[in-house]
Amino acid sequence: MSASFPDLRMRRGRSSAWMRSMLAENRLHPSDFIWPLFICEGHDREEPIASLPGVSRWSVDRLAGKAREAADLGIPSIALFPNTPNELRTERAEEALNRDNLICRAIRTIKDAVPEIGVLTDVALDPYTAHGHDGLVDELGNVINDDTVEVLVQQALVQADAGADIVAPSDMMDGRVGAIRGALEAAGHQNVAIMAYAAKYASAFYGPFREAVGSLGRLKGDKRGYQMNPANIEEAVREVELDLAEGADFVMVKPGLPYLDVVVRVKDAFGVPTFVYQVSGEYAMIEHAAAAGAGDRNALILETLLAFKRAGASGILTYHALDAARLIRG
């Protein structure tokens, strides 16, 4: 039997700042973060994104400076998302395979200017399709799995050839991780890692992201035919298991805060590097809450990020990465 009140007083452990610091079970560090960045065409351009206050799209020439800022703060890796010019969006997303497309130019520029930072790229067709879906669609608008996987494999190779360090399939097609791993091996990209968006839910929290990559107004229907039902968690475990069996190096749960239970479950079940994406709608919620006086912005940022660590996340994709790294470093 352990001691009880009054011999045991839990508040003793909270009675001073040094005591709280000594007893902290989890800590945030800049190396916990992956910073998502949006890219646009043009020169010396910054395009603010209305639904993501404080987040902008950057032209490729401005991007290297952003990557440098992140690296100097100790952030190990960035994730790149292109806003493809409208005239290049097609039914079959051909631009995704253009070796000189926006994202390939961005990868090469960053690898050249800031070689010490890791570059993660999304494997999915939504920034390139006229209809805004992550894959190829049939006459009825359904996303066709196996044909899509073939294109995704080519897309991953194009990104890896351009210098991507981690390819992150975010499309939720069946069988794509194995197909991509095989193609990367055959092409000599042994060190290119796969971070699978393994448990990705059909979420209402992706709205601002879709504005940022320009797919919002285009999307016909929804993504519930491939992204997961928010009601399910057993299915998330199966999804993760399959992606690992197919050769995923790391897995991701997405969105973040509303799905902390999934993070815990996945981490406990598999013990593999488990990342979590605090998505655009979560970012916007914090910014708007703080702007409305409903909470202290910095405290909201750090508390939500710490919650991911407590749940067992190995790392967090967050639009607050730079702010958080600065806050932690003090």
**Cβ at position 156, least distance to ligand PBG in Å:** 13
**Cβ at position 219, least distance to ligand PBG in Å:** 8
Q: Is the separation of the CB atoms in 117 and 125 below 8 Å?
A: no
126: contact with ligand PBG by CB under 6 A: yes
**Cβ at position 91, least distance to ligand PBG in Å:** 17
280: contact with ligand PBG by CB under 6 A: yes
**Cβ at position 118, least distance to ligand PBG in Å:** 17
> Exactly one of 66, 111, 220, 254 is catalytic; which is it?
254
210: contact with ligand PBG by CB under 6 A: yes
Angle at 228 between CA 309 and CA 107, to 5 degrees: 65
Give strand ranges (E) for 117-212: 118-123, 166-169, 193-200
Annotated catalytic residue 254:
yes
What amino acid occupies position 187?
A
Q: Which of 37, 136, 279, 301 binds ligand PBG (CB under 6 A)?
A: 279
Annotated catalytic residue 223:
no
Instruction: Report DSSP state, residue 116.
Output: T
124: contact with ligand PBG by CB under 6 A: yes
**Cβ at position 63, least distance to ligand PBG in Å:** 18
Q: Which residue has 């042994």 as its token pair?
A: 190
Cβ proximity to ligand PBG: between 109 and 148 the closer is 148
Q: Which two tokens stand for residue 2?
A: 């352990």
Interstrand relation of 33-40 and 56-59 (parallel, antiparallel or unpaired): parallel
Q: Which of 148, 170, 274, 304 binds ligand PBG (CB under 6 A)?
A: 170
Closest CA to 213 of 140, 330, 127: 127
Q: Per CB under 6 A, which region of 65-73, 118-126, 150-158, 241-249 contacts ligand PBG?
A: 118-126
> Exactly one of 66, 200, 223, 267 is catalytic; which is it?
200
306/92 Cα distance (integer angstroms): 41
134: contact with ligand PBG by CB under 6 A: yes
35: contact with ligand PBG by CB under 6 A: no
Q: Is the separation of the CB atoms in 317 and 278 below 8 Å?
A: yes
CB contact burial 279-294 (16+ within 10 A = b; e otherwise): bbbbbbbbbeebeeee
Q: What do you get for the CA distance between the two ends of the chain, in Å?
A: 42
Q: Which residues bind ligand PBG (CB under 6 A)?
A: 122, 124, 126, 134, 170-171, 206, 209-210, 223, 279-280
Show which residues are catalytic: 200, 254
